[in-house]
Structure 1
Amino acid sequence: MKNEKKIEKEVLNKQSQHWENTFSRKKDMFGLKASYSAQAAAKKFKNEGKKKILELGGGQGRDTIFLAQNGFEVYVLDYCETGVEAINEKTEAMNLSDSITAKCHDLRDPLPFADQEFDACYSHMLYCMAFTTAELEFLSSEINRILKPNGLNIYTARNTNDADYGTGIHCGEDMYKVGGFVVHFFSRDKVEHLAKGFEIDEISEFEEGGLPRKLFLVTLRKNNN
């Protein structure tokens, strides 16, 4: 695999505090409107009758709120206490406590749920955070474990066509520290590599933000064989 520089684990481990500081300074950092990917995922989930959703890396909750308002039961995990607090505040203010459960959790550890507990999993730019490939392999296996048969995993990740790819400080593998944030950029080969235990329903591309960021939108279906 290219870019086999030694992984800068100390740099990766400091990302949690960087996100805590950023969320503390910037309320609704990503805006209030649901992302394109959340809207696409909600449509897919509705069409297939998926109800119980696990969201990973919920940030400050813009997609969490959207999913709950569209009738889904949402469990959301994030490793930033500040983000979880923001989600809980919005949940209470919008009377969505029956639809949203938010907890702080490091996704490098096993997911705190039973086997086959969820209909679907959703995450927006969680995969392209400061995770090594080995950590992403483990996370993917955990997502597969907690999904019901025929369960969906829909995620997004910035890809190697993104203007920031190859810029900033190289942190090992395809990870670069840009503007203080470590980004793990995805190739199609990486998407396919991380799909073990799943069938790939679709890999599409879209753009978001002012750069713009270039992302994959990946839809995986649990392989029941």
Structure 2
Amino acid sequence: MPEQGREPADAQRGQWQRTYADHPRMYGDAPSAAAVHAAAVFRVAGAQDVLELGAGHGRDALYFAGCGFTVRAADFSATGLGQLEERAAESGLGPSVSAVVHDVRRPLPLPDGSVDAVFAHMLLCMALTTGEIHALVGEVRRVLGPGGTFVYTVRHTGDAHYGAGAVHGDGVFEHGGFAVHFFDRELVDALAEGWELREVHAFEEGDLPRRLWRITQTLPAAGGG
């Protein structure tokens, strides 16, 4: 349940801090399937600089670095990012990875057009309002260069936990201490306005299993409108 008097997203920060502290490297060292796919997409697009939002303890950020990308990893959990930095140093990838504690409800701490690609695995479907999600995607658009690629995954309204647990409104439901904003296709399409929507791919992950979409969208190239 959310802490009394606090926004769900604020309460979730503490939840994730405790979770990473109690379960170091909780997702293991292997990258997510979504990150493996994204790396291939980024490589074809000629990307070099990748921003990962919601990097957690870094399994995907370190995979991107191992693929030869320069990675900026952002998360609101200092505990998770500390684990990322420790493993980056151990694996010799420290020079390729920079980490920053950041709340995505605020503007991204990067200049306009400073990255080639952005990746976010289940970050947009955390305890964010629809307005905050739109603002975040606007920030992603700002920091991407022309022709930049955005790959993100979200749990959707076909998931077994949709409608279950504590109700926060605006499509957000809390189950097992974790709040999720479940996406419908209308929201996906709205977030792609002004982009080229390349793919909406349905897949499953985990034991429930969680039901997700993997969305790939790109900005127009320079001079392309």
Scaled to the shorter chain, the TM-score interval is: over 0.9
Report whether the alignment pairs 1:161 with 2:158: yes
Q: 2:96 aligns with which of 90, 99, 117?
A: 99
Q: Counterpart in 2 of 1:3? A: none
Q: 1:130 aligns with which of 103, 127, 132?
A: 127
How far did residue 78 of structure 1 move?
Answer: 0.3
State the alpha-carbon separation in 2 of the partners of residues 54 and 88 from structure 1. 15
Letter in 2 for 1:25: D
> Which runs of structure 1 show a deviation greater than 3 angstroms over 4 or more consecutive aligned residues?
none
Q: 2:209 aligns with which of 191, 209, 212?
A: 212
State the alpha-carbon separation in 2 of the partners of residues 69 and 76 from structure 1. 14
* 3-state SS in 2 of match to 1:92: helix
Superposed, which structure 2 residues align to 1:107-186 within 5 Å?
Answer: 107-186=104-183
Superposed, which structure 2 residues align to 1:70-81 within 5 Å?
Answer: 70-81=67-78
CA contact (8 A) 1:141 1:197 kept: no
* 3-state SS in 2 of match to 1:98: helix
State the alpha-carbon separation in 2 of the partners of residues 112 and 213 from structure 1. 31
Instruction: Tell me the TM-score normalized by structure 2.
Output: 0.94
What is the identity percentage for the equivalent residue pairs of Structure 1 and Structure 2? 40
Q: 1:221 aligns with which of 207, 218, 221?
A: 218
Letter in 1 for 2:143: I
Q: Counterpart in 1 of 2:41? A: 44
State the alpha-carbon separation in 2 of the partners of residues 12 and 117 from structure 1. 27
Instruction: Tell me the TM-score normalized by structure 1.
Output: 0.94
Report whether the alignment pairs 1:24 with 2:18: no
Letter in 2 for 1:61: G
State the alpha-carbon separation in 2 of the partners of residues 12 and 54 from structure 1. 21
Which segments of 5 or more consecutive residues in structure 2 lack a partner in the other structure? Answer: none
Letter in 2 for 1:149: P
Q: Counterpart in 1 of 2:59? A: 62
Count of residues in Structure 1 that have an aligned counterpart in Structure 2:
218
State the alpha-carbon separation in 2 of the partners of residues 10 and 108 from structure 1. 12
CA offsets, 1:24-43, max 9 Å, x none?
00111112210010000001
How far did residue 9 of structure 1 move?
Answer: 6.0
CA contact (8 A) 1:144 1:197 kept: no
CA offsets, 1:81-106, max 9 Å, x none?
10110111011111111210011011
How far did residue 146 of structure 1 move?
Answer: 0.5
Letter in 1 for 2:214: L
CA contact (8 A) 1:60 1:86 kept: yes
Q: Counterpart in 2 of 1:5? A: none
How far did residue 21 of structure 1 move?
Answer: 0.6
How far did residue 23 of structure 1 move?
Answer: 0.6
State the alpha-carbon separation in 1 of the partners of residues 84 and 76 from structure 2. 13
State the alpha-carbon separation in 1 of the partners of residues 194 and 94 from structure 2. 33
Which segments of 5 or more consecutive residues in structure 1 lack a partner in the other structure? Answer: 1-7
Instruction: Indicate the RMSD between aligned Cα atoms, in angstroms.
Output: 1.2
State the alpha-carbon separation in 2 of the partners of residues 141 and 67 from structure 1. 23
Letter in 2 for 1:79: F
Q: Counterpart in 1 of 2:195? A: 198
* 3-state SS in 1 of match to 2:112: coil
